[in-house]
C-alpha cells in the first residue's frame, strides 16, 4: 500500500440524546426494548437488528462477526447460526460471549456480556420452517466456516440439493439452530457533547436484581 490515510480530522459532535438515571427502568431488557423501538421508528438504520457476536476462539483469539438478532425478551437475545461453525465450536468450549449494537443515527451503542445456550430444538424448528425455501437450502448446503474448494462447488451442491428436495418438505438439519444469550451485564452508551458520553451499566446480582452504575466516558 503506497499512501497512508490520515483520519485524524474525522470528528463528530454527539448531541442528539441523553441517558439519565431519572429515566431508566430497573431492568436493562426494558431499556433495550425502548432503545430498539426508537431506533426502528427513526427509520434511519438499515438493519437495526444487526449485532456483533464475539467469542473466544479455540485458537485463543477473540473473534467478532455480525449476525441478526431474531428475537429478544426478558430472558435474552436470540440469533441463528450453524452450530458447527467457528463461532459454534467456540461457544461449545466457552459459552461466554459479547454482543454489541451500534446505532449511529441515534448515537447509541449497547454491549451485552452473557452466556450463549442453544434454544430448544422445537423453537429452532419453528423458525427454520418460517424461512424462505432458498434460505432453508442455503443452511443445509453450507458447512459454515469450513474451507470450500470453489464457488462453483457450492453452487453445484445447491443444484443437487434443489433436485433432491423437489416437492419435498425441508426439515431443519440438527447442526443449524438458535442460541439465546442471557445477559450478565449490559452497558448502554449514549453519545454526548465534549466526549462526556453517558454510560450506564447494569450487572446482574445473585438475587436477580440489577446493579446500576454510571461509568466514566
What minimum distance in Å lies between the beta carbon of 65 and ligand FMN?
4
Tell me the number of residues near ligand FMN by CB under 6 A. Answer: 16
Which cell numbers in the block locate residue 217?
466516558
The answer to whether 217 and 135 have CB atoms below 8 angstroms apart is no
Based on the shown chain and the rule CB under 6 A, indicate whether residue 50 belongs to the binding site for ligand FMN.
Answer: yes
Encoded one letter per residue, x for contact with ligand FMN by CB under 6 A and - for no contact, window 122-151 reads ----------------------xx------
Active site residue 131: no
- Binding of ligand FMN at residue 45 (CB under 6 A)? no
- Which triple of cell numbers denotes residue 84? 458447527
Check residue 198 for interaction with ligand FMN (CB under 6 A). Answer: no
What is d(CA 62, CA 116) in angstroms, rounded to the nearest whole number?
15
Picking from 169, 155, 217, the residue whose alpha carbon sits closest to that of residue 192 is: 217
> Least Å distance between CB 147 and ligand FMN?
11
Closest Cα partner for 151 from 160, 163, 142? 142
- 216 close to 147: Cβ distance less than 8 angstroms: no
Question: Smallest gap, in angstroms, from Cβ of residue 183 to ligand FMN?
Answer: 19
Interface with ligand FMN (CB under 6 A): 47, 50, 63, 65-68, 79-82, 85-87, 144-145
Amino acid at each position: 500500500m503506497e499512501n497512508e490515510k490520515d483520519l485524524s480530522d474525522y470528528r463528530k459532535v454527539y448531541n442528539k440524546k441523553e441517558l439519565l438515571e431519572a429515566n431508566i427502568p430497573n431492568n436493562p431488557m426494558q431499556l433495550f426494548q425502548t432503545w430498539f423501538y426508537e431506533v426502528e421508528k427513526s427509520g434511519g438504520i438499515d438493519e437495526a437488528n444487526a449485532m456483533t457476536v464475539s467469542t473466544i476462539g479455540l485458537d485463543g483469539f477473540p473473534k467478532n462477526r455480525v449476525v441478526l438478532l431474531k428475537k429478544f425478551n426478558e430472558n435474552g437475545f436470540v440469533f441463528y447460526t450453524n452450530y458447527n461453525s467457528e463461532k459454534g465450536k467456540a461457544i461449545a468450549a466457552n459459552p461466554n460471549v459479547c454482543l454489541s449494537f451500534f446505532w449511529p443515527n441515534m448515537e447509541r451503542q449497547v454491549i451485552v456480556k452473557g452466556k450463549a445456550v442453544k434454544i430448544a430444538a422445537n423453537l429452532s424448528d419453528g423458525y427454520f420452517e418460517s424461512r424462505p425455501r432458498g434460505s432453508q437450502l442455503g443452511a443445509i448446503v453450507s458447512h459454515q466456516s469450513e474451507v470450500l474448494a470453489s464457488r462453483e462447488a457450492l453452487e453445484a451442491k445447491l443444484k443437487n440439493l434443489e433436485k433432491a428436495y423437489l416437492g419435498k418438505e425441508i426439515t431443519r438439519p440438527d447442526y443449524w439452530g438458535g442460541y439465546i444469550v442471557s445477559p450478565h451485564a449490559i452497558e448502554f452508551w449514549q453519545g454526548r457533547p465534549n466526549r462526556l458520553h453517558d454510560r450506564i451499566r447494569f450487572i446482574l446480582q445473585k438475587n436477580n436484581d440489577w446493579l446500576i452504575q454510571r461509568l466514566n466516558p
